[in-house]
Structure 1
Amino acid sequence: MKKKIHNRKQLESFRKELRNNATTSEKKLWKALQKSQLEGKKFRRQQSIGNYIVDFYCPTERLIIELDGEVHNNSVNQDYDFKRTTYLESLNHTVLRFQNEEVKNSIDLVLERIKFEFSDSDS
């Protein structure tokens, strides 16, 4: 039997808590991604993959988008992020990381960078 790695039950309440306490940047990006607004691609927010919860996930593209704030600017969290990214990439996912400030100040550039990763993109 294949082991379930997506949205494990034991992470459900934590995923819900993260959705209910989204940062300003997460809310802004979600507004642009929800309801398949970006090139018709469906995104999920606060999806768990393995024991990790990713900010945004597009299953058809195997694309993960992570938003980083100040909490990521120390060696302990950077090491954790590296291990996490390595694990997610080992499952053939692409991980894109953006700083919260990038979303706040240049959301159009962030969306263009995301679209660039779509496999059927003409750009």
Structure 2
Amino acid sequence: MRLAGSESSQRNAKRLRKAMTPPEIALWLALRSNEAGLRFRRQYAAGRYVLDFYCAPARLAVEIDGEAHNRGDRPQRDGVRDAWLAGQGTQVLRYAAGDVLTNLDGVVRDIMTTALARMGRPVG
């Protein structure tokens, strides 16, 4: 089952690919050259949402949360989004932007372990 995006989310994804944050850029560079050969997409349109990163074979979304994700109604909105994705069979991993910058290797290792496990491939 393909996770397709709406027309507006596809336009938004294209715009966001041109305006990636430093943590997103660092993670993108690490994910696109992973040793397991998994393909990740950046700023991927899914329904009415745009996922920071998406690995289709593992049905895994990766979100980098900046400070704004802790304010206002954002936690509730993120919860609704994560529940919708779960209903589509997609797991969401969330990482604080600061963690990506200070522990990139650990974040990538966690993402790859989760992706490979979801695909039933041996980890290690």
Fold in common (TM above 0.5): yes
**1:80 offset after TM fit, Å?**
0.2
- Aligned partner of 1:31 in structure 2 is 29
Between the aligned partners of 1:108 and 1:45, the Cα distance in structure 2 is: 18
- Aligned partner of 2:19 in structure 1 is 21
The correspondence of residues 63-74 of structure 1 with structure 2, limited to 5 A, is 63-74=60-71
SS for the counterpart of 1:55 is strand
**1:13 offset after TM fit, Å?**
2.2
**1:38 offset after TM fit, Å?**
4.3
1:96 to 80, 90, 93: 93
- Aligned partner of 2:123 in structure 1 is 122
Contact 1:115 1:121 in 2 (8 A): no
Give me the identity figure in percent: 32
**1:5 offset after TM fit, Å?**
4.7
Which deviations, in whole Å up to 9, do the C-alpha atoms of 1:55-103 show, x marking residues without a partner? 0000000010000001101240000000000000111111000000011
**1:116 offset after TM fit, Å?**
1.6
| Runs of 4+ in structure 1 over 2 Å off | 7-13
Contact 2:9 2:47 in 1 (8 A): no
Which deviations, in whole Å up to 9, do the C-alpha atoms of 1:16-41 show, x marking residues without a partner? 1111110000000000112x524110
Residue-pair matches, total? 120
The RMSD of aligned alpha carbons is 1.7
Distance 1:75 1:121, change over 3 A: farther
Q: TM-score, normalised by structure 2?
A: 0.89
Mark the runs of 5 or more structure 1 residues left unpaired by the alignment: none
Contact 2:8 2:48 in 1 (8 A): no
Between the aligned partners of 2:36 and 2:3, the Cα distance in structure 1 is: 27
Contact 2:63 2:93 in 1 (8 A): yes
